Amino acid sequence: MKAEPVMMRAQSHALRKRSKFWGTLEQIVLYSLLFACGCGFIAPFLTMISTSLKANAQIFVYPPMLIPNPPQWQNYPEAMKYAPFGRYYLNSFFLCATVVFGTLSSNTLIAYGFSRIRWVGRDVVFVIVLATLMLPAQVTMIPVYIIFRKLGWVGGYLPLIVPAYFGSAYFTFLLRQFFRGIPFELSDAARIDGCSEVSILWYIILPLAKPALVTVALFSFIYTWNDFLGPLIYLHDQNLYTVTLGLQAFISRYWTPQNLLMAAATMAILPVLVIFIWAQRFFVEGISITGLSGR
Amino acid sequence: MFKEALYQKVKFRKLSRQDRHSLGLGLAFISPWIIGFLLLTMYPIFISLYYSFTNFTLFTPPGWVGLQNYVELFTRDDKFFVSLSNTAFFILMAVPASVVTALLLALLLNARLWGKTFFRSLFFLPTIVPAVASAAVWMWILNPQWGLLNTSLRMVGLPGPPWLSSPAWAKPSLVVVALWGIGSEVIIYLAALQEIPRDYYEAALVDGANGMQRSLYITIPLVTPVIFFHLINGTIWAFQYFTEAFVMTGGGPANATLFYALYLYRNAFTNVKMGYASAQAWILFVLVMAASLIIMRSSKGWVYYEG
Report the range of poorest mean pLDDT among A14-28, B71-85, B193-207, B274-288: A14-28
Better-scored residue on pLDDT, A254 or A61: A61
The per-residue pLDDT for A256 is: 80
The per-residue pLDDT for B97 is: 97
- Average pLDDT of the residues in B256-284: 95
The per-residue pLDDT for B32 is: 96
Q: What is the pLDDT of residues A101-140, one digit of tens each?
A: 999 999 999 999 999 999 999 999 999 999 999 999 999 9
The per-residue pLDDT for B300 is: 87
The per-residue pLDDT for B58 is: 84
CB contact under 8 A, B32 and A106: yes
Q: What is the pLDDT of residues B151-175, one digit of tens each?
A: 888 888 888 899 999 999 999 999 9
For residues A142 and A35, membership in a common domain is answered with no
Instruction: Give CA–CA dist B156/B154, Å, rounded.
Output: 5
- Residue in B with minimal Cα distance to A105: B32
- Average pLDDT of the residues in B70-86: 95
The per-residue pLDDT for B14 is: 67
Instruction: Give CA–CA dist A28/A20, Å, rounded.
Output: 12
Alpha carbon distances (Å) from A58 to A55, A107, B63, B152: 5, 50, 59, 16
CB contact under 8 A, A284 and B124: yes
Chain-centroid distance, C-alpha B181: 12
The amino acid that residue B289 corresponds to is M
Tell me, yes or no, whether A59 lies in a domain. Answer: no
For residues A172 and A268, membership in a common domain is answered with yes
Tell me, yes or no, whether A58 lies in a domain. Answer: no
**Who contacts A146 (Cβ-Cβ below 8 Å, separation ≥6)?**
B58, B274
- Average pLDDT of the residues in A18-32: 81
In the predicted structure, residue A15 carries a pLDDT above the cut 60: no
For residues A166 and A35, membership in a common domain is answered with no
For residues A217 and A176, membership in a common domain is answered with yes
The per-residue pLDDT for B307 is: 55
The per-residue pLDDT for A18 is: 56
Q: Which of B19, B29, B212, B242 to mutate to test the interface with A (most CBs of A within 10 A)?
A: B29
User: Contact at 8 Å (CB) between B88 and B291?
Assistant: no
B89 contacts chain A (CB < 8 A): no
- Average pLDDT of the residues in A22-45: 89
For residues A85 and A46, membership in a common domain is answered with no
Better-scored residue on pLDDT, A289 or B63: B63
Tell me, yes or no, whether A70 lies in a domain. Answer: no
User: Contact at 8 Å (CB) between A227 and A159?
Assistant: no
For residues A43 and A102, membership in a common domain is answered with no
The per-residue pLDDT for B160 is: 86
Alpha carbon distances (Å) from B124 to A200, A223, A285, B118, B181: 36, 15, 12, 10, 8
How many domains does the structure of chain A reveal?
A: 2
Q: What is the CATH number of the domain that holds A284?
A: 1.10.3720.10
Report the range of poorest mean pLDDT among A58-67, B70-79, B193-202: A58-67
Share of chain B above pLDDT 90, in %: 64
Better-scored residue on pLDDT, B299 or A158: A158
For residues A173 and A223, membership in a common domain is answered with yes
Q: Which domain holds residue A22?
A: 3-52
For residues A18 and A164, membership in a common domain is answered with no
CB contact under 8 A, A44 and B127: no
In the predicted structure, residue B20 carries a pLDDT above the cut 60: yes
The per-residue pLDDT for A7 is: 47
The amino acid that residue A278 corresponds to is W
Tell me, yes or no, whether A43 lies in a domain. Answer: yes
Tell me, yes or no, whether A65 lies in a domain. Answer: no
Q: What is the pLDDT of residues A160-217, one digit of tens each?
A: 999 999 999 999 999 999 999 899 999 999 999 999 999 999 999 999 999 899 999 9
Instruction: Give CA–CA dist A126/B32, Å, rounded.
Output: 14
User: Contact at 8 Å (CB) between B241 and B261?
Assistant: yes
Q: How confident is the model at residue A37 (pLDDT cuts 50, 70, 90)?
A: very high
B32 contacts chain A (CB < 8 A): yes
ipTM of the complex: 0.89
The per-residue pLDDT for A2 is: 42
Q: What is the pLDDT of residues A230-268, one digit of tens each?
A: 999 999 999 999 999 999 999 888 678 889 999 999 999
Better-scored residue on pLDDT, A294 or A35: A35
In the predicted structure, residue B11 carries a pLDDT above the cut 70: no
Better-scored residue on pLDDT, B113 or B63: B63
A184 contacts chain B (CB < 8 A): no
For residues A19 and A122, membership in a common domain is answered with no
Mean of pLDDT over chain A: 88
Tell me, yes or no, whether A154 lies in a domain. Answer: yes
B136 contacts chain A (CB < 8 A): yes
Better-scored residue on pLDDT, B84 or A59: B84
- Count the neighbouring beta carbons within 10 Å of the beta carbon of residue A274: 10
Instruction: Give CA–CA dist B283/B263, Å, rounded.
Output: 13
A253: part of which helix (H) or strand (E)?
none
For residues A98 and A242, membership in a common domain is answered with yes
Share of chain B above pLDDT 70, in %: 95
For residues A48 and A178, membership in a common domain is answered with no
Tell me, yes or no, whether A68 lies in a domain. Answer: no
Better-scored residue on pLDDT, B110 or A13: B110
Tell me, yes or no, whether A84 lies in a domain. Answer: yes
For residues A147 and A248, membership in a common domain is answered with yes
Mean of pLDDT over chain B: 90
The per-residue pLDDT for B204 is: 87
B267 contacts chain A (CB < 8 A): no
Residues of B in contact with A34 (CB under 8 A): 108-109, 113, 116, 119
Q: What is the pLDDT of residues A66-102, one digit of tens each?
A: 788 788 898 899 888 888 899 999 999 999 999 999 9
Instruction: Tell me how close the Cα of A36 comes to any Cα of chain B, in angstroms.
Output: 11
The per-residue pLDDT for B4 is: 53
Instruction: Give CA–CA dist B234/A222, Å, rounded.
Output: 20
Instruction: Tell me how close the Cα of A65 comes to any Cα of chain B, in angstroms.
Output: 10
**Who contacts A159 (Cβ-Cβ below 8 Å, separation ≥6)?**
A144, A145, A148, A153, A230, A233, A234
Facing A134 at nearest CB: one of B23, B45, B236: B236
Q: How confident is the model at residue A4 (pLDDT cuts 50, 70, 90)?
A: very low
Instruction: Give CA–CA dist A72/A90, Å, rounded.
Output: 25
Mind listing the domains of chain B with CATH numbers? Answer: 68-302 (1.10.3720.10)
